[in-house]
Amino acid sequence: ELKVEQNPLFLSMQEGKNYTIYCNYSTTSDRLYWYRQDPGKSLESLFVLLSNGAVKQEGRLMASLDTKARLSTLHITAAVHDLSATYFCAVDGEYGNKLVFGAGTILRVKS
Amino acid sequence: EPEVTQTPSHQVTQMGQEVILRCVPISNHLYFYWYRQILGQKVEFLVSFYNNEISEKSEIFDDQFSVERPDGSNFTLKIRSTKLEDSAMYFCASSETSGGFYEQYFGPGTRLTVT
């Protein structure tokens, strides 16, 4: 069974600090997706990582993918309150017909 | 920018009733999906649909559930006899093709409350 594990599940951080969210997965897929979800809202695509070593950055967020370690990281630099949300990583299912999500990381940035 | 739309945004129904959740995928997309998210939990795959057929379905998608593309634009999820545990947010998604380079775009969701 394909598993996607995120840690931490809850992260409370001060504004201006840096932190990393980790996503481990059990499949041999070389594609990984990061989504953001605000309370009561839909899933907003942040990053699509398509190959080993892929690194993408958008503002204060940077995502990377190591397919050999089956690990993706989402690094937050100098956090601001607006980044408070739940962040999900997801991988393709075995036949590419679905996404399998991690449990999500609830991020709270305190001012 | 094209987007996936869903109606209604919130549906309240009594246990045992049938509900139909509606989605309009992005117009040139060929693959359609339903996911659900129970409050405070992760997003779970229900079913994928291509060429008027189910491509894959999860264990959650039992005989109580069905999907249909009744016309060229709508994609529906029907729950025949709702249970309390069906209360969740239901998201529709679509993609140009399956997996890989073609990411899935999610609709805003329908919150289903079963009383």
CB B78 within 8 A of CB B86: no
Mean pLDDT in residue range A4-24: 96
**pLDDT tier, B33 (very low <50, low <70, confident <90, very high otherwise):** very high
Cβ separation B42–A103 shorter than 8 A: yes
**pLDDT tier, B38 (very low <50, low <70, confident <90, very high otherwise):** very high
- A58-88 burial, b for 16+ CB within 10 Å, e for fewer? eeebbbbbebeebebbbebeebeeebbbbbb
Measured between CB atoms, which of A42, A100, A103 is closest to B108?
A: A42
Burial class (CB in 10 A: 0-12, 13-18, 19+), A53: exposed
Whether the predicted pLDDT of B37 surpasses 80: yes
Whether the predicted pLDDT of B1 surpasses 90: no
Shortest Cα distance from A80 to chain B (angstroms)? Answer: 23
Cβ separation A42–B42 shorter than 8 A: no
d(CA B109, CA B33): 12
pLDDT for the residue B31: 92
d(CA B98, CA B44): 17
Question: Chain B, 31-70: which have a CB under 8 Å from a chain A CB?
Answer: 31, 33, 35, 41-45, 48, 50, 55-56, 58
Whether the predicted pLDDT of B100 surpasses 60: no
Lowest mean pLDDT among A24-28, B57-61, B80-84: A24-28
**How much of chain B, in percent, has pLDDT values that exceed 90?**
79
d(CA A93, CA A27): 8
Task: Tell me if chain A has a CB within 8 Å of the CB of B107.
Answer: yes
Whether the predicted pLDDT of B90 surpasses 90: yes
Between these two residues, A96 and B57, which has the higher pLDDT value? B57
Mean pLDDT in residue range A32-40: 93
**pLDDT tier, B98 (very low <50, low <70, confident <90, very high otherwise):** low
Cβ separation B105–A93 shorter than 8 A: no
pLDDT for the residue A52: 84
Cβ separation B44–A101 shorter than 8 A: yes
CB contacts of B31 in chain A (<8 Å) are 97
